[in-house]
């Protein structure tokens, strides 16, 4: 963000990143559907604004599914390239955001399935250390809670991680989560309930282990 209030965003086109300047008034003027329509007409600034709006949610979805912030960043980059290539495939049946995040989720799941070696499960790789989420002055106690929660999430089955990641890490609604995961709304509700129960059980085990050490 410059002193004048303009914002430089990174647009992805055919695998290349381009810095584009958009003014605040231009960003606020268009909704996602309008930006996507303009992006279809080769408006790189419009696509760059879509990326800017949704890249943080995309990172959160990817990191919960794959278990690594570093790998999630690559997944999101590749996903947005894919989004750009398939702009014409958006049919308007759901929100633009959920359509974009569904592509991110699919890339993340494919990445996990094709991984040759297991993801390291130490704290550095398991924790949800999202660079854009919080400042460096985070209290030690809160950071520890986040690390324990992230480690517990990574011990859950993949479907549980996906639904909790969409609902509570990316902050999606139940309807958006259903769109992203390609499942029924009722399935999201029941899966969320079961996943929360399993997560609490994992946290209880962690707490009990800590008390004995």
Residue 165: other Cβ atoms inside 10 A:
26
Q: What is the pLDDT of residue 193?
A: 93
Angstrom CA distances, 29 to 35, 46, 92, 99, 141, stand at 10, 11, 20, 21, 41
CA–CA gap between residue 165 and residue 178 (Å, rounded): 12
Are the C-beta atoms of 147 and 126 separated by less than 8 Å? yes
Max distance between CA atoms of the chain, in angstroms, equals: 62
Q: What is the pLDDT of residue 83?
A: 95
Q: Record the pTM.
A: 0.67
Q: What is the pLDDT of residue 155?
A: 87
pLDDT < 50 positions in the chain: 1-11, 13, 17-22, 24-25, 116-141, 143
* Domains by residue range for the chain, with CATH: 7-212 (1.10.1740.10)
Q: What is the pLDDT of residue 154?
A: 84
- Specify burial of residue 32 (Cβ count, 10 A radius: 0-12, 13-18, 19+): middle
Helix (H) or strand (E) holding 17, with range, is strand 16-22
């Amino acid at each position: 963000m410059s002193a004048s209030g303009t914002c430089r965003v990174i647009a992805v086109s055919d695998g290349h990143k381009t810095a584009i300047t958009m003014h605040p008034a231009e960003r606020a003027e268009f909704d996602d559907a309008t930006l996507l329509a303009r992006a279809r007409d080769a408006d790189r600034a419009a696509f760059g604004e879509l990326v800017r709006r949704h890249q943080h949610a995309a990172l959160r979805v990817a990191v919960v599914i794959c278990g690594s912030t570093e790998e999630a960043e690559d997944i999101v980059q590749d996903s947005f390239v894919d989004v750009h290539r398939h702009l014409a495939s958006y049919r308007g049946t759901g929100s633009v955001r959920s359509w974009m995040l569904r592509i991110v989720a699919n890339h993340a799941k494919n990445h996990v399935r094709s991984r040759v070696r297991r993801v390291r499960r130490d704290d550095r790789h398991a924790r949800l250390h999202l660079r854009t989420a919080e400042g460096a002055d985070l209290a030690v106690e809160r950071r520890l809670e986040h690390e324990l929660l992230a480690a517990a999430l990574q011990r859950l089955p993949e479907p549980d991680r996906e639904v909790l990641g969409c609902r509570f890490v990316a902050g999606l609604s139940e309807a958006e989560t259903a769109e992203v995961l390609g499942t029924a709304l009722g399935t999201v509700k029941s899966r969320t309930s079961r996943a929360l129960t399993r997560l609490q059980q994992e946290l209880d085990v962690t707490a009990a282990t800590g008390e004995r050490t």
